């Protein structure tokens, strides 16, 4: 009996978030979920920290200046198990679509750059956190742990995800490849920061990172990418220096095949919408026939990866023999 490979349409979001407004962001997300499903997509992927938008203020001035935005950013980040989160799960369930949401996750007094994969039944497939926030992101967000480098079996194939410059971490990428990842969600914020001054933050480098991931991993890469709206610039860029640092646009949503091929016509960088591609997971075996990085093309006798997937629990119940400890 020959294998039956999933075939389905995927959608990647290229749009500006409802910045610092969780309720409006949920409403916008539900509308995009409905639009993708109406166009026969079975997977929709959202940009990094789509809810409530990427905290660009951390890149524009001293930390003390950015603190004016932090309480609002914290309060409009998404907490799992809340009515707002349930609206997203309900939308996935209503439209029968898998949702890969990018969010600032609020947990107690801390925030995390996170991806929430919701199945078409509205149930959670995965809740992962960015393993290491990048540069000044560490003034806002906490860290994930080894359990966040995981790939999950679904009817659409084995799905995983990483955020932004996690795609520049060779060992993290290899950990995902080694778990036979077939569909990868590469979540990006926008490529309009420090234009002309930091080439590594621009679209050439970062879209290349998504494309190389597809070729290295022999997998499909769905790479949503937000835009920066004029309203966001007006709010955050209070002088000419800041306006030069953060510009409108920056949307470069892409979907790549396992051979690195771009599978759709891209949108203009200042346009909002969805890009679609039809994925046939049967293409993966052909790509990996040439190079399977964790299979026949590997040399485990020369190099191997140690992956510690232990969860980073803050409290571990412990008791002396014969003494019961109750943790609520």
Query: What is the set of active-site residues?
Result: 48, 130, 164
Rounded distance between C-alpha atoms, residue 42 and residue 89, angstroms: 15
Rounded distance between C-alpha atoms, residue 145 and residue 134, angstroms: 15
Instruction: Check residue 122 and report its DSSP letter.
Output: S
Q: Across the chain, which distance is largest between two alpha carbons, in Å?
A: 67
Rounded distance between C-alpha atoms, residue 176 and residue 239, angstroms: 42
Nearest Cα residue to 251 out of 294, 298, 190, 210: 190
Rounded distance between C-alpha atoms, residue 257 and residue 279, angstroms: 8
Estimate the share of the chain in helix, then strand, then coil, as percent rounded to the nearest 5. 30, 25, 45
Q: Which two tokens stand for residue 169?
A: 């971490």
Q: Which two tokens stand for residue 121?
A: 């039944």
What backbone phi and psi angles, to 5 degrees, belong to 161? -160, 155
Q: Sign of the C-alpha dihedral, residues 14, 18, 19, 20?
A: negative
HSE value, Cβ hemisphere, 13 Å, CA-based, for 187? 28
- Residues 6 or more apart whose CB falls under 8 angstroms from that of 267 comprise 14, 251, 253, 273, 275
């Amino acid at each position: 009996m020959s294998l039956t490979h999933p075939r389905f349409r995927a959608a990647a979001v290229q749009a500006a978030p409802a910045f610092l407004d969780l309720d409006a962001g949920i409403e916008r997300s539900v509308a995009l979920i409905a639009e993708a499903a109406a166009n026969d997509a079975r997977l929709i992927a959202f940009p990094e920290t789509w809810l409530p938008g990427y905290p660009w203020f951390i890149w524009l001035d001293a930390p003390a200046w950015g603190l004016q935005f932090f309480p609002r950013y914290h309060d409009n980040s998404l907490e799992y198990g809340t009515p707002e989160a349930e609206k997203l799960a309900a939308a996935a369930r209503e439209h029968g679509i898998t949702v890969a949401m990018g969010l600032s996750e609020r947990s107690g007094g801390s925030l995390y750059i996170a991806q929430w994969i919701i199945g078409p039944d509205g149930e959670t497939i995965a809740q992962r956190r960015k393993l290491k926030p990048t540069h000044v992101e560490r003034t806002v967000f906490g860290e994930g742990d080894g359990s966040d480098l995981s790939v999950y079996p679904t009817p659409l194939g084995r799905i995983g995800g990483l955020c932004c410059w996690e795609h520049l971490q060779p060992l993290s990428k290899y950990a995902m490849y080694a778990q036979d990842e077939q569909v990868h969600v590469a979540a990006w914020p926008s490529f309009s920061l420090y234009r002309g001054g930091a080439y590594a933050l621009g679209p050439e480098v970062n879209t290349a990172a998504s494309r190389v991931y597809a070729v290295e991993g022999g997998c499909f890469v769905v790479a949503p990418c937000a835009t920066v709206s004029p309203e966001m610039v007006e709010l955050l860029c209070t002088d000419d220096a800041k306006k030069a640092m953060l510009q409108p646009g920056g949307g470069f949503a892409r979907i790549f095949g396992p051979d690195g091929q771009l599978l759709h016509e891209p949108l203009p960088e200042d346009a909002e919408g969805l890009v679609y591609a039809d994925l046939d997971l049967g293409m993966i075996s052909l790509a990996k026939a040439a190079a399977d990085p964790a299979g026949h093309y590997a040399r485990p006798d020369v190099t191997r990866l140690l992956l510690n997937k232990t969860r980073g629990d803050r409290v571990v119940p412990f008791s002396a023999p014969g003494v019961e400890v109750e943790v609520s």
